[in-house]
Protein backbone atom coordinates (compact mmCIF):
# COMPACT_ATOMS: atom_id res chain seq x y z
CA UNK A 1 0.00 0.00 0.00
CA UNK A 2 1.25 3.50 -0.86
CA UNK A 3 1.96 5.66 2.17
CA UNK A 4 0.92 9.31 1.91
CA UNK A 5 3.56 11.29 3.77
CA UNK A 6 2.36 14.49 5.43
CA UNK A 7 4.81 17.16 6.55
CA UNK A 8 3.66 19.30 9.50
CA UNK A 9 5.24 22.63 10.42
CA UNK A 10 4.08 23.37 13.96
CA UNK A 11 4.81 25.70 16.88
CA UNK A 12 7.20 24.05 19.33
CA UNK A 13 4.59 24.19 22.10
CA UNK A 14 1.83 22.61 20.00
CA UNK A 15 0.76 19.15 21.16
CA UNK A 16 -2.66 18.92 19.50
CA UNK A 17 -2.26 18.95 15.71
CA UNK A 18 -0.02 15.87 15.80
CA UNK A 19 -2.73 14.11 17.80
CA UNK A 20 -5.97 15.21 16.13
CA UNK A 21 -4.85 15.18 12.49
CA UNK A 22 -3.56 11.58 12.49
CA UNK A 23 -6.69 10.51 14.37
CA UNK A 24 -8.92 12.09 11.72
CA UNK A 25 -7.00 10.76 8.71
CA UNK A 26 -6.87 7.26 10.19
CA UNK A 27 -10.57 7.15 9.30
CA UNK A 28 -9.86 7.17 5.54
CA UNK A 29 -10.60 3.60 4.52
CA UNK A 30 -7.84 1.84 2.59
CA UNK A 31 -5.42 4.78 2.74
CA UNK A 32 -2.30 4.98 4.89
CA UNK A 33 -0.57 8.13 6.15
CA UNK A 34 2.65 8.94 7.94
CA UNK A 35 3.40 12.27 9.64
CA UNK A 36 6.69 14.12 9.78
CA UNK A 37 7.05 17.31 11.82
CA UNK A 38 9.39 20.25 12.07
CA UNK A 39 8.96 22.72 14.91
CA UNK A 40 9.17 26.51 15.15
CA UNK A 41 9.99 27.90 18.58
CA UNK A 42 6.99 29.64 20.18
CA UNK A 43 5.55 29.77 23.71
CA UNK A 44 3.24 32.77 24.02
CA UNK A 45 0.65 33.61 21.39
CA UNK A 46 1.69 37.25 20.96
CA UNK A 47 2.40 39.25 17.79
CA UNK A 48 6.10 39.34 18.62
CA UNK A 49 6.47 35.59 19.17
CA UNK A 50 4.31 34.79 16.14
CA UNK A 51 6.54 36.96 13.94
CA UNK A 52 9.68 35.32 15.32
CA UNK A 53 8.13 31.91 14.73
CA UNK A 54 7.19 32.71 11.14
CA UNK A 55 10.80 33.65 10.47
CA UNK A 56 11.73 29.97 11.04
CA UNK A 57 9.50 28.71 8.23
CA UNK A 58 12.15 28.20 5.55
CA UNK A 59 14.27 25.95 7.78
CA UNK A 60 11.21 23.85 8.62
CA UNK A 61 10.21 23.46 4.97
CA UNK A 62 13.67 22.10 4.15
CA UNK A 63 13.50 19.65 7.04
CA UNK A 64 10.12 18.14 6.17
CA UNK A 65 10.94 18.09 2.45
CA UNK A 66 13.87 15.81 3.24
CA UNK A 67 11.31 13.17 4.26
CA UNK A 68 9.90 13.05 0.73
CA UNK A 69 6.49 14.28 1.82
CA UNK A 70 3.45 14.52 -0.46
CA UNK A 71 1.96 17.56 1.29
CA UNK A 72 3.21 20.18 3.72
CA UNK A 73 0.78 21.81 6.17
CA UNK A 74 1.83 25.05 7.88
CA UNK A 75 -0.10 24.32 11.03
CA UNK A 76 -0.55 27.59 12.87
CA UNK A 77 -3.66 29.46 11.82
CA UNK A 78 -3.22 32.65 13.84
CA UNK A 79 0.42 33.10 12.81
CA UNK A 80 -0.80 33.64 9.27
CA UNK A 81 -4.06 35.46 9.94
CA UNK A 82 -2.37 37.95 12.29
CA UNK A 83 0.27 38.83 9.69
CA UNK A 84 -1.98 40.40 7.08
CA UNK A 85 -5.15 39.93 5.04
CA UNK A 86 -4.86 37.20 2.43
CA UNK A 87 -1.53 36.11 3.89
CA UNK A 88 -2.24 32.38 3.47
CA UNK A 89 -1.92 32.74 -0.30
CA UNK A 90 1.49 34.39 0.03
CA UNK A 91 2.72 31.76 2.50
CA UNK A 92 1.45 28.81 0.46
CA UNK A 93 3.01 30.25 -2.71
CA UNK A 94 6.33 30.84 -0.92
CA UNK A 95 6.37 27.29 0.49
CA UNK A 96 5.46 25.84 -2.92
CA UNK A 97 8.28 27.81 -4.56
CA UNK A 98 10.77 26.63 -1.93
CA UNK A 99 9.66 23.02 -2.31
CA UNK A 100 9.91 23.21 -6.08
CA UNK A 101 13.40 24.68 -5.91
CA UNK A 102 14.36 21.68 -3.79
CA UNK A 103 12.90 19.28 -6.37
CA UNK A 104 9.73 18.50 -4.43
CA UNK A 105 6.22 18.51 -5.91
CA UNK A 106 4.52 18.34 -2.51
CA UNK A 107 1.32 20.31 -2.05
CA UNK A 108 1.83 23.49 0.00
CA UNK A 109 -1.01 24.00 2.46
CA UNK A 110 -1.78 26.03 5.58
CA UNK A 111 -4.30 25.78 8.39
CA UNK A 112 -5.51 29.29 7.56
CA UNK A 113 -5.98 28.49 3.89
CA UNK A 114 -7.51 25.12 4.75
CA UNK A 115 -10.21 26.74 6.86
CA UNK A 116 -11.02 29.28 4.15
CA UNK A 117 -11.20 26.52 1.53
CA UNK A 118 -13.39 24.29 3.68
CA UNK A 119 -15.87 27.09 4.36
CA UNK A 120 -15.95 28.12 0.70
CA UNK A 121 -16.27 24.59 -0.68
CA UNK A 122 -19.12 23.94 1.76
CA UNK A 123 -21.11 26.96 0.61
CA UNK A 124 -20.92 28.68 4.00
CA UNK A 125 -21.70 32.39 4.02
CA UNK A 126 -22.23 33.14 7.70
CA UNK A 127 -20.07 31.58 10.40
CA UNK A 128 -19.56 31.68 14.17
CA UNK A 129 -16.15 31.14 15.79
CA UNK A 130 -14.64 29.91 19.06
CA UNK A 131 -10.97 30.85 19.58
CA UNK A 132 -8.45 30.64 22.41
CA UNK A 133 -6.69 33.93 21.58
CA UNK A 134 -6.48 37.21 23.42
CA UNK A 135 -9.08 39.64 22.07
CA UNK A 136 -6.79 41.76 19.84
CA UNK A 137 -5.57 38.65 17.99
CA UNK A 138 -9.08 37.23 17.90
CA UNK A 139 -10.32 40.44 16.27
CA UNK A 140 -7.64 40.06 13.60
CA UNK A 141 -8.84 36.51 12.90
CA UNK A 142 -12.42 37.79 12.55
CA UNK A 143 -11.27 40.53 10.16
CA UNK A 144 -9.26 38.00 8.14
CA UNK A 145 -12.19 35.63 7.70
CA UNK A 146 -14.55 38.47 6.82
CA UNK A 147 -12.04 39.72 4.24
CA UNK A 148 -12.36 36.30 2.58
CA UNK A 149 -16.03 36.99 1.98
CA UNK A 150 -17.70 35.41 5.02
CA UNK A 151 -19.84 37.11 7.62
CA UNK A 152 -18.81 36.33 11.20
CA UNK A 153 -22.13 36.49 13.03
CA UNK A 154 -20.73 35.91 16.53
CA UNK A 155 -17.48 34.84 18.18
CA UNK A 156 -15.85 34.04 21.49
CA UNK A 157 -12.21 34.46 22.55
CA UNK A 158 -11.16 32.42 25.59
CA UNK A 159 -8.13 34.73 26.11
CA UNK A 160 -5.42 32.18 26.82
CA UNK A 161 -2.01 33.58 25.85
CA UNK A 162 0.24 30.66 26.82
CA UNK A 163 0.22 28.20 23.92
CA UNK A 164 0.93 25.21 26.16
CA UNK A 165 -2.14 26.11 28.21
CA UNK A 166 -4.21 26.37 25.01
CA UNK A 167 -3.49 22.68 24.42
CA UNK A 168 -4.98 21.90 27.84
CA UNK A 169 -8.23 23.84 27.56
CA UNK A 170 -11.00 21.43 28.63
CA UNK A 171 -13.44 20.47 25.91
CA UNK A 172 -16.31 21.43 28.23
CA UNK A 173 -15.04 25.03 28.29
CA UNK A 174 -14.90 25.08 24.48
CA UNK A 175 -18.41 23.61 24.27
CA UNK A 176 -19.77 26.11 26.80
CA UNK A 177 -18.32 28.96 24.73
CA UNK A 178 -20.08 27.55 21.66
CA UNK A 179 -23.36 27.29 23.55
CA UNK A 180 -23.13 30.96 24.49
CA UNK A 181 -23.01 32.08 20.84
CA UNK A 182 -25.97 33.47 18.91
CA UNK A 183 -26.17 30.87 16.13
CA UNK A 184 -29.56 31.90 14.78
CA UNK A 185 -28.05 33.26 11.54
CA UNK A 186 -24.99 31.02 11.27
CA UNK A 187 -24.56 28.49 8.46
CA UNK A 188 -21.76 26.74 10.37
CA UNK A 189 -19.69 26.88 13.55
CA UNK A 190 -15.90 26.73 13.73
CA UNK A 191 -15.63 25.10 17.15
CA UNK A 192 -11.86 25.61 17.36
CA UNK A 193 -10.37 28.30 15.14
CA UNK A 194 -6.92 27.10 16.27
CA UNK A 195 -5.05 23.83 15.68
CA UNK A 196 -3.77 23.81 19.28
CA UNK A 197 -7.14 24.06 21.06
CA UNK A 198 -8.56 20.50 21.28
CA UNK A 199 -12.07 20.00 19.95
CA UNK A 200 -12.21 16.80 17.90
CA UNK A 201 -13.87 14.82 20.68
CA UNK A 202 -16.89 17.17 20.73
CA UNK A 203 -17.40 18.05 17.04
CA UNK A 204 -20.10 15.43 16.45
CA UNK A 205 -21.81 16.12 19.78
CA UNK A 206 -21.84 19.85 19.03
CA UNK A 207 -23.44 19.22 15.62
CA UNK A 208 -26.21 17.17 17.20
CA UNK A 209 -26.91 19.60 20.03
CA UNK A 210 -26.53 22.90 18.18
CA UNK A 211 -28.21 21.78 14.99
CA UNK A 212 -25.74 23.08 12.42
CA UNK A 213 -22.53 21.89 10.78
CA UNK A 214 -19.44 22.11 13.00
CA UNK A 215 -15.85 22.15 11.83
CA UNK A 216 -12.48 23.02 13.31
CA UNK A 217 -9.02 24.04 12.18
CA UNK A 218 -8.06 20.36 12.45
CA UNK A 219 -10.95 18.98 10.39
CA UNK A 220 -10.44 21.73 7.80
CA UNK A 221 -6.75 20.85 7.65
CA UNK A 222 -7.59 17.20 7.06
CA UNK A 223 -10.07 18.21 4.35
CA UNK A 224 -7.42 20.34 2.65
CA UNK A 225 -4.90 17.49 2.70
CA UNK A 226 -7.37 15.01 1.23
CA UNK A 227 -8.45 17.38 -1.53
CA UNK A 228 -4.86 18.26 -2.44
CA UNK A 229 -3.94 14.57 -2.76
CA UNK A 230 -7.16 13.66 -4.63
CA UNK A 231 -8.15 11.24 -1.88
CA UNK A 232 -11.74 10.43 -0.85
CA UNK A 233 -13.39 12.66 1.72
CA UNK A 234 -15.54 10.27 3.72
CA UNK A 235 -14.54 10.01 7.37
CA UNK A 236 -16.95 9.08 10.18
CA UNK A 237 -17.00 10.81 13.53
CA UNK A 238 -15.37 14.11 12.55
CA UNK A 239 -18.28 16.28 11.50
CA UNK A 240 -20.23 17.09 8.36
CA UNK A 241 -17.27 18.55 6.50
CA UNK A 242 -15.65 15.13 6.21
CA UNK A 243 -18.77 13.07 5.45
CA UNK A 244 -19.26 12.29 1.77
CA UNK A 245 -23.04 12.41 2.06
CA UNK A 246 -23.21 15.76 3.88
CA UNK A 247 -23.77 19.23 2.47
CA UNK A 248 -22.94 22.01 4.93
CA UNK A 249 -24.76 24.96 3.39
CA UNK A 250 -26.24 26.14 0.14
Residue numbers annotated as active site: 76, 194
**Has 133 been labeled as part of a binding site?**
yes
**Has 77 been labeled as part of a binding site?**
yes
**Has 14 been labeled as part of a binding site?**
yes
Give CA–CA dist 235/123, Å, rounded. 19
Give the distance between the most distant pair of CA atoms in the chain: 49
**Has 214 been labeled as part of a binding site?**
no
Alpha helices in the chain (DSSP H): 17-25, 47-54, 57-65, 77-81, 87-101, 111-121, 135-147, 163-166, 171-179, 203-210, 217-228
**Has 168 been labeled as part of a binding site?**
no
**Has 233 been labeled as part of a binding site?**
no
- Name the packing angle between helices 111-121 and 217-228 (round to 10°): 80
Which among 241, 239, 235, 240 has a CA at the least distance from the CA of 29? 235
Known binding-site residue numbers for substrate: 14, 76-78, 133, 163, 195-196
Known binding-site residue numbers: 14, 76-78, 133, 163, 195-196
Amino acid sequence: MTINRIGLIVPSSNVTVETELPRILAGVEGVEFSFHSSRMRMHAVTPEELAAMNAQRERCVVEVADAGVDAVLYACLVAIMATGLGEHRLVEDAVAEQLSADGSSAAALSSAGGLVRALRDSGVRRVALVMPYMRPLAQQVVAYIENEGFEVVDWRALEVADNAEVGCIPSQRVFDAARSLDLSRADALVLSCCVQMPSLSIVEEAERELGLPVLSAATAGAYSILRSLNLPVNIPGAGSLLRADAVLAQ
